[in-house]
Amino acid sequence: MTWEIFCEWLGAIGSVASIVSLGLFFWAGWTLTKFKHQLILREKTPIHFKKLSELTVKLDQARSSESESDISREILVQIRIQLKYLQKQLKDDDFSREIRKLEPLIEKYVKGHTKRQTVTELNEIFISLHIIIEEGRQIMDYMRWEL
């Protein structure tokens, strides 16, 4: 009789152990996936921020050129692409809020209006871009410490 009870207990312990080990296996997989995603973000995001900074400098240079509106529109389209990528990757509320504020300004400028309106809009775009770049630097600093 005791031998049967011992076998039942041993089977129950084995079942619990297999469930626990399966849970640990899934937890380890999830942790590694999350870590891999963080590494990819850490590797690729600075490249996009650098590209965004370079485009901002080009946009500033284009403001002083004669064909300013055409060049600026092309640069703003590239900036919009970089911002969409960064917004998707970082998933930060403050960062996304700043990008959402900037999107209508870029859209309005790309569509084009009078010369006076576009200069004002371009200045607003610059202010927003600098805020976004600064927030991006803070996020990148935080990510370095997180890993």
Q: For the chain, list the domains and their CATH numbers.
A: 37-146 (1.20.120)
Of the pLDDT bands very low, low, confident and very high (cuts 50, 70, 90), residue 85 is: confident
- Geometric angle at alpha carbon 59, from 92 and 73, rounded to 5°: 90
The identity of residue 86, as a single letter, is L
- What per-residue confidence (pLDDT) applies to 40? 63
- Geometric angle at alpha carbon 68, from 62 and 71, rounded to 5°: 70
User: pLDDT tens for residues 102-146?
Assistant: 788 778 777 765 555 566 777 777 778 877 777 777 777 766 655
| DSSP summary character for residue 66 | T
Taking 80 as the threshold, does the pLDDT of residue 69 lie above it?
Answer: no
Of the pLDDT bands very low, low, confident and very high (cuts 50, 70, 90), residue 27 is: confident
- What per-residue confidence (pLDDT) applies to 147? 44
Phi, psi of 116 (to 5 degrees): -65, -40
The two structure tokens encoding residue 26:
């899934």
Statement: the pTM of the whole predicted model exceeds 0.75: no
Give CA–CA dist 101/79, Å, rounded. Answer: 14
Taking 70 as the threshold, does the pLDDT of residue 37 lie above it?
Answer: no
| Residue 142 DSSP SS3 | helix
Q: What is the pLDDT averaged over residues 86-112?
A: 76
- What per-residue confidence (pLDDT) applies to 131? 77
Q: What is the pLDDT averaged over residues 22-31?
A: 79
CB atoms within 10 A of CB 78: 15
The two structure tokens encoding residue 89:
């990757």
- What per-residue confidence (pLDDT) applies to 117? 56
